[in-house]
Amino acid sequence: MADAKIRLCVEHDLAASNSVPLNREQANYLFNVMRLGVGAHVLLINSRDGEYLAEVVDAGKRRGLLTVLSQTKPLQMPPDLWFLFAPIKKARTDFIVEKAAEMGAARICPVSTDYTSSDRVRQDKLQAHAMEAAEQCGGTYVPIVEEISKLTTVLEKWPEDRQLMFCDEARVGAAEALSKTAKGPWAILIGPEGGFSSGERDRLLAMPQTTPISLGPRILRADTAAVAALTVWQQALGDW
């Protein structure tokens, strides 16, 4: 079992003796890039069944087949946390999605705000980043990455029972903390490089679910703020 280092996310059900066919990309990765052959072991996750050890039984150039052996980890769901952020430049957006997946967000939602500089995001690429992050960090759940939506639309449909940690650069330096008693569904909101407009700020602060939060005495870049906010939330209310 010690040889099974590669973790792969698949769509198939995972249970002992199930067969898992590989797609072209997965076969290429395992057999051409990683040079695995028949008999090699890999670990599989699918966001539903936990982590399973599997063995390669067919290794082609463009296809392959695995047989599932036994469970190595039970499913561990992340906390019920949505992570909302305004997309920035591509490399930094990729970083934000990767970090949100590693840090235990359950759902990642790009939102377009008044000062969002980039409204075009490739949801499929971001979902692939989240999957890779889950594969490498030992998670058994891959967070869902949504298509981009307007922040106003998201707020119109905001669930009554979901708290919102609003990371507001206008409160830089304020001494505020999350109340450790407010367990349950939460979301974190991070703005773009340009910050939030006053209209957005008023709208957010008028919602009873909103807790405005300062992330310290310095203005952070959005990607830094993302990691800082997830740390603060996880420490107070999450599964750390």
Is 142:76 a contact under the CB 8 Å cutoff?
Answer: no
The only residue of 64, 87, 143, 191 in contact with ligand SAH, by rule CB under 6 A: 191
Q: Residue 223 interacts with ligand SAH (CB under 6 A)?
A: no
| CA 230 to the chain's CA centroid | 11
Measured distance CA(49)–CA(41) in Å, rounded? 18
Backbone angles phi, psi at 125, to 5 degrees: -70, -40
What is the Cβ-side half-sphere exposure of residue 85, based on CA atoms within 13 angstroms?
Answer: 30
The only residue of 131, 225, 230, 237 in contact with ligand SAH, by rule CB under 6 A: 225
Q: Residue 81 interacts with ligand SAH (CB under 6 A)?
A: no
Pick 167 or 230: Cβ nearer ligand SAH: 167
Is 54:69 a contact under the CB 8 Å cutoff?
Answer: yes
What SS3 state is found at 116? coil
CB of 88 to ligand SAH, least distance (A): 8
Pick 90 or 171: Cβ nearer ligand SAH: 171
Pick 146 or 169: Cβ nearer ligand SAH: 169
Measured distance CA(133)–CA(114) in Å, rounded? 30
Q: Of the listed pieces 65-73, 99-107, 180-188, 192-200, which binds ligand SAH according to CB under 6 A?
A: 192-200
Measured distance CA(202)–CA(119) in Å, rounded? 22
Q: Within positions 155 to 174, which residues make up the interface with ligand SAH, using CB under 6 A?
A: 167-169, 171-172
Pick 17 or 198: Cβ nearer ligand SAH: 198
Q: Residue 190 interacts with ligand SAH (CB under 6 A)?
A: yes
Is 84:233 a contact under the CB 8 Å cutoff?
Answer: no
Number of residues that bind ligand SAH (CB under 6 A): 18
CB of 220 to ligand SAH, least distance (A): 4
Q: Residue 131 interacts with ligand SAH (CB under 6 A)?
A: no
Q: Within positions 193 to 222, which residues make up the interface with ligand SAH, using CB under 6 A?
A: 193-196, 214-216, 219-220, 222
CA nearest to 205, candidates 179, 161, 171: 171
Helix runs in 114-212, H state only: 123-137, 151-156, 198-205
| Contact positions vs ligand SAH (CB under 6 A) | 167-169, 171-172, 190-191, 193-196, 214-216, 219-220, 222, 225
